[in-house]
Each structure stands twice: as C-alpha cells, then as structure tokens.
Chains A and B, each alone.
Chain A
Amino acid sequence: MKAKRAAVPYGIWMVIFIIVPMLLVLYFAFTTQEGAFTLQNIATVGRYSNVFVRSIWLGAVATAVSLLIGYPVAYIIARTRACWQSVLILLVILPMWMNFLLRTYAWMTLLEDSGLINNLLEALGLGRVHMINTQGAVVVGMVYNYVPYMIFPLYSVLAKMDPSVIEAAQDLGASQARVFWRVVLPMSMPGVISGITMVFVPAVSTFIISKMLGGGANLMIGDLIDMQFLGSSYNPNLGSAISLVLMVLILICMGIMNQFDDGESKGGGIPL
C-alpha cells in the first residue's frame, strides 16, 4: 500500500506531461484548424513517405553500427576487473556531460571539407574526402550521440552473467566462437533488444543532427515535424498527424523487438 502511494507523484506527472499531450496529438491529428473532424492530415502524410524511408533507413544503419561498436565495448568492460569497470563506464558517460548540440557542432568542424580530419588526411598525403552534408555524416552523428544507450543495457546484462556458465561451456569443449554464439549472445539478448530500441527510437526521430551534419537537405521525420510548427505556415494538425504515424511505427517496431525478448530473462528489456 505504501509503495503505491510513493508512486503517486510520478502518476500525476505522467498524466499531465505524457498522457494529456498524447491525447492532444491525437486530437490535432484528426481535426482541421477550425476543429472539425478530418482524415486529410493523415492522408497528407503520405506525400512525405520519402522522408520516412530515409529516416528509418538511417536510423537502422545507425542502430546496426552502434550494436557492432557497442557490443565488444560492453563485453570488454564487463570482463575487466571491478575497479576498472567504473572507470571505463565513466569514460563512456563522459561525452554525455557535454551539451548534445555542442557535441554535434564539434562533429561539423571535424567533418567539413576544410575541417580537421580532412586537413590531417591532406597532411598525410591521402587526399581529401567529402564527408559533411552526406547521409554518412548523419549516421556518424547519430552513432556518436546514441552509442552509450547501446552500451549501458548490454553492459548491465553482460556484467550480471554468471562466469561459471561460460566456464561450463568451455569445459564441455565448446570453442570460443561457439561459446559466444550459443551461450553469451542468447543470454545477452534482453540487453541487445533494449539497446536496439533505445538507439533506434531517438535516431529515427532526431532532427538537429540531420540539420547540422546533413546540410539541411537530408530531411528527416523530426525536421518535417519541426517545419510544421516553426515553418512558414503554422500547421500543428499536420505536425501531429506526422507524429502520430511516427509513434505507430515505433510502437510496431518495439512490438517486433519484444517478440525476440525471452519472457524469463528480464534483464534490461522494455516490456510492451
């Protein structure tokens, strides 16, 4: 009973700042500017399908890259001595103490044609590479900003894994690779799933990264929503409709991910 009462503040918070805004989005998405019911907004979203395709694609690539980078890092951290673990975790968190915008801005100066990386390449006689204002640059920005969200859930699952299970597999004659594929990976699935969700969702809906590193021409869903509210015509109805479609999409994605999450091992999974 007492525990329930402690949750009341958050309950109120959730209703005011999560449930009510969601209902507002729903209301705006299905009404005209005068407030009459319409399906026109949802129908108009179809015109921007290119943007959806691009966002989902870039988000998926960024998530895959984050997983490939994040998994080994999380594994190594989880296997180091306890006193070093906290130091390594701190190193992963460290960039997040800096403002998100600043970090992205820094990448801009790094990737520019006359930026630091290109100057270095030139000095080494390797020639310049055009990087900024491409989709690749957007992916780099996403990976840099969101990879900690991949590492943490993976780390928390891997650190809790009983080393004796791995030893048992080795004792029974499994090779290194076999231990990983048959024991470690399946056991860390909850971490993988929650890592994927935690990177994919913000990556799909980001807008400032594509603006700064994509040159404003690699429009993403977030940019599109931003345009409806701060563009030349103030159109919260279309903006809400786009948000709604995005939410439905993300919900389905999370539903899919959840199916791969084993019911028994509740590591870091997000229940749905």
Chain B
Amino acid sequence: MKKRILGLLLAVLFLTPLAAPAVATQGGEDGGEAAPLTGVTINVYNWGEYISNGVDGSLDVNAEFTRRTGIEVNYTTFESNESMYSKLVSGGANYDIIIPSDYMVSRLIDEGMLEKLNFDNIPNFQYIDEAYRNPVYDPQNEYSVPYTWGVVGIFYNKNYVTEEVDSWEILWDEQYAGKILMFDNPRDTFGIAQKLLGFSFNSTEESEWQEAAMLLKQQKPLVQAYVMDQIFDKMASGEAWLGPYYAGDAAILVEENPNIGFAIPTEEGTNFFVDAICIPKGAQHKEEAEAYINFLCDPEIAAANVDYIGYSTPESAAKALLDEEVVNNPIYYPPQEVLENAEIFINLPEETSLLLDELWAEVKMGGPGETATLIAILALFLALYIAAVLYKRRKAKREAG
C-alpha cells in the first residue's frame, strides 16, 4: 500500500539524473547549484529509526542529500530527548543538526543552546503549513523548523476491550488490572493524569502535580509495566490489552494486528507533539546545516521520510504526495477537533522538573523513603564490618595463643 507511492517517488528521483546527460538543459537543478558547499561533512543527530534510510526500497535521504549537494552526512542517533540533551551539555560532541521534540526545543532556547536560523537559506520553509508555524515552543519561529508531528492515543485489544474507548479513565479501570501499560517516562505518564484531571501539561502549580501523582499511585497496582518500545511486543502478543503510545510510531501495530484498535480521547484532550529540526549553538557548518534543513523540507523528501517513519508531515504539499489511505487514516492525520483539544509540551521551569522527577520516583517506589532507613542500613553494614574484624582478631589471638 505504502510501497506504491514510494516506487513512484524513487523512479522520479533516480531516473532524473540518469536522464540528465541526454537532456542537457536539465542539469542545473540536481547537482550544480550547491557546488560551493561541497566537501564538507555535517554531523546530524536524530532519533533512532527516524529517517528514510534506503531499506526495503525506501529513499536513502542522506545519500540523496550528498548526491545533490556534495555535503557528506555523518548521521548518529539518540533514543530520548534527555539523552540527547545530556550529550549536548556535557560538550562531548559537535553537532550541526539536532531534531529534538517541542519541550526540548523550548528548553534549549531558554538555555541559549540553539543558533537562530537564517531562513533565507531555507526557502522550502514556505511549504510548512500555517498551523505549524510560530509554535508555542518557539513563538517567533526563529530556531526551529517542524520535521514531523503526532498525537498520543490509546491502543487497545479489541478482543478484550469491547467498550468504546474515549477517555483516559479506562486506564484506571479495575477490570483490566494487570493488562494496562503506561509510558516509562514522567512527562507522558503525568500528562495522562493531568488531562484526566483537566490540568495543563505545562502547569507550574505544585498542587496540580501532587494530585496527578496521587492519581498515578492509585493506578499503579493495575499497571502491568511501565514501558516504551516494548509496548509493540506486549500488545501484539496479547500480553497487554491497553496502553497509551505515540500514534505514528505504533501505527504499524494496527496495520499488522487487525485486533488492535486505536482511539484518541478527544474530549479530555491529548498530547500533540512536534519534532523540530534545530542547529545547536557553536555548530561548525551552519550554512550547510541550513541547506540540509531546506532539503528535508522539500515536499518530495518530506513525503519519502514520513512514508518511511510513519509520523505525520507538517507540509500539505508533502501530504499530497502520500498514499490516500494514509492521509485519510485518523491515526496519521486525526480530525480537526482532536488537534483543537490537544496541547503541546513546553519546557518546565527547573523547580517543576525537579519536582516531577521526585514524584515520578515516588510513584514507582510507592511512596517516599526515610533518611533514617538509609542511615540504618549503612550503620548495620558498618557494624557487621566491625564485628567481622573483631571476630577475626580474636580468632587470630586464640590460634596464636
């Protein structure tokens, strides 16, 4: 189904250069113009499995970029915004392109870790739909260009969950005890409790976070496991029946398992997330990086990318190139009312994220511990040590005497 459009795209992309020598006038578009940037290598840091890479007949986006511009791409991946962030702050590496999510973009902006983009070098920004410009995480749209977006919804096994799924409340339903999965990251997990309570994801009220934590503690006995990628296996095998996850990432789950359904709690609202392309401060090849961003915004490339990744594109022009089945699928492109009720994560102030980490550990531990206990453990071990030393001394003395 998805393969058809890909084949077409590939044909266009790969046949053009072959045909070029014959049609002499066509040469300009493909290789010639970007020549001054040739010979440079840019470091791209992206999510794992988050670019079309040539597998299964898909387009190899990075190779195509090199072919067109002469710029080499050194491509590395990260597995979470936080691991990318800690790599960036510890200063161990130098990246020219990073693709973090919304709240991480706003955090990096707040901390002055991003370069302002020169949009003169990114003419393809024109293709980005109005709705995705000037987002809350980058209000002036100076630092980022949206790459993909998606929403969070609930996956459920139709064989066991026969009622209509239209509220986060179902994740607190006792009859599914032990069959419920939750995210293994605090932001997404607390987000669900927050929406159920009618709070904002980006609240700075401590009481609201406390209330959400209470709700999650109540839910914990019903939760089978806190997982990320493992949700695919656990849902597909029937081990778990209910679990919230990112729509695009898990769309394949629904395609391959007809008994798995997907629903978005429209009323209560959900998380609408955007992953955006940025250039970190101190990037060595800013101009080349902008050429890369421009290339990714090319509707044909964007279409090939989202076709491979499964997330949604912020470009109508790219959407037009996609298979109709995909475009009409509410998992990929949910109806307008879902998006109207959805909220984006933005960066939390320092004290709120510290509180969040603390509460998250508490949810998982089932309550805060006492300092006295820790001191007692240390004292016990020390006592054991001293006892052992004394015992040995005495034994040595006895043997000597």
Count A-B pairs with CB separation below 8 Å: 137
Known contacts being A216-B225, A232-B185, A232-B356, is A227 close to B361, with CB within 8 Å? yes
Known contacts being A217-B225, A230-B80, is A113 close to B239, with CB within 8 Å? yes
Instruction: Tell me the nearest residue of chain B to A234, going by C-beta.
Output: B86
B370 at the A interface (CB under 8 A)? yes
Interface residues of B (CB under 8 A from A): 80, 82-83, 85-86, 89, 178, 184-187, 220, 223-227, 230, 233-234, 237-239, 348, 350, 353-354, 356-358, 360-361, 364-375, 377-378, 381-382, 384-385, 388-389, 391-392
Interface residues of A (CB under 8 A from B): 43, 45-53, 56, 108-109, 112-115, 130, 132-133, 211-212, 215-217, 219, 224, 227-236, 245, 248-249, 252-253, 255-256, 259-260
- B226 to A217, Cβ gap below 8 A? yes
Q: How far is the CB of A257 from chain B (nearest CB, A)?
A: 9
Cα A225 to Cα B392 with chains together (Å): 36
Scoring B86, B365, B367, B375 by chain A CB atoms within 10 A of each residue's CB, the highest score goes to B365
Q: How far is the CB of B63 from chain A (nearest CB, A)?
A: 29
Scoring B225, B233, B237 by chain A CB atoms within 10 A of each residue's CB, the highest score goes to B225
A sample of 8 cross-chain residue pairs with beta-carbon separation below 8 angstroms, ordered by A number, consists of A49-B374, A50-B373, A52-B377, A109-B233, A216-B364, A227-B357, A227-B360, A252-B382
- B367 to A50, Cβ gap below 8 A? yes
Known contacts being A211-B184, A227-B361, is A114 close to B237, with CB within 8 Å? yes
Name the prevailing secondary structure of the B interface residues.
Answer: helix
Task: Provide the residues of chain A in CB contact with B80, threshold 8 Å.
Answer: 230
- B374 to A46, Cβ gap below 8 A? yes
Given contacts A112-B234, A233-B354, A259-B392, 14 further A-B contacts (CB under 8 A): A46-B373, A46-B375, A47-B371, A52-B369, A52-B374, A53-B373, A212-B230, A216-B364, A217-B226, A229-B82, A233-B356, A234-B85, A256-B381, A260-B388
- A249 to B365, Cβ gap below 8 A? no
Instruction: Tell me the nearest residue of chain A to B226, going by C-beta.
Output: A216
Known contacts being A233-B354, A235-B357, is A215 close to B225, with CB within 8 Å? yes
Instruction: Tell me the nearest residue of chain B to A113, going by C-beta.
Output: B239
- B388 to A256, Cβ gap below 8 A? yes
Q: How far is the CB of A213 from chain B (nearest CB, A)?
A: 10
Cα A52 to Cα B375 with chains together (Å): 11
Task: Provide the residues of chain B in CB contact with A233, threshold 8 Å.
Answer: 350, 353-354, 356-357
- A112 to B237, Cβ gap below 8 A? yes
The 3 A-B pairs with the shortest beta carbon distances in the complex, nearest first, are: A46-B371, A216-B226, A215-B225
- A49 to B371, Cβ gap below 8 A? yes
- B358 to A256, Cβ gap below 8 A? no
Task: Provide the residues of chain A in CB contact with B223, threshold 8 Å.
Answer: 215, 217
Task: Provide the residues of chain A in CB contact with B238, threshold 8 Å.
Answer: 114
- B83 to A232, Cβ gap below 8 A? no
Cα A45 to Cα B389 with chains together (Å): 28
- A219 to B354, Cβ gap below 8 A? no
Name the prevailing secondary structure of the A interface residues.
Answer: helix
- B385 to A219, Cβ gap below 8 A? no
Task: Provide the residues of chain B in CB contact with A43, threshold 8 Å.
Answer: 371
- A47 to B353, Cβ gap below 8 A? no
Cα A52 to Cα B374 with chains together (Å): 7
Instruction: Tell me the nearest residue of chain A to B80, going by C-beta.
Output: A230
Cα A21 to Cα B188 with chains together (Å): 33
Instruction: Tell me the nearest residue of chain A to B362, going by C-beta.
Output: A47
- B348 to A232, Cβ gap below 8 A? yes
Instruction: Tell me the nearest residue of chain A to B396, going by C-beta.
Output: A263
Cα A51 to Cα B370 with chains together (Å): 11
- B186 to A232, Cβ gap below 8 A? yes
Cα A50 to Cα B82 with chains together (Å): 25
Q: How far is the CB of B275 from chain A (nearest CB, A)?
A: 17
- A231 to B370, Cβ gap below 8 A? no
Among candidates A50, A113, A130, A211, residue contacting B369 with C-beta atoms closer than 8 Å = A50
Among candidates B86, B374, B378, residue contacting A229 with C-beta atoms closer than 8 Å = B86
Among candidates B230, B360, B378, B385, residue contacting A232 with C-beta atoms closer than 8 Å = B360
Task: Provide the residues of chain B in CB contact with A249, threshold 8 Å.
Answer: 377-378, 381
Instruction: Tell me the nearest residue of chain B to A254, going by C-beta.
Output: B385
Cα A250 to Cα B357 with chains together (Å): 26
- B370 to A49, Cβ gap below 8 A? yes
- A48 to B361, Cβ gap below 8 A? yes
- B353 to A219, Cβ gap below 8 A? no
- A56 to B377, Cβ gap below 8 A? yes
Task: Provide the residues of chain A in CB contact with B385, threshold 8 Å.
Answer: 252, 255-256, 259
Q: How far is the CB of A55 from chain B (nearest CB, A)?
A: 10
Q: How far is the CB of B111 from chain A (nearest CB, A)?
A: 10
Q: How far is the CB of A39 from chain B (nearest CB, A)?
A: 12
Q: How far is the CB of A245 from chain B (nearest CB, A)?
A: 7
Q: How far is the CB of A222 from chain B (nearest CB, A)?
A: 13
Task: Provide the residues of chain A in CB contact with B369, threshold 8 Å.
Answer: 46-53
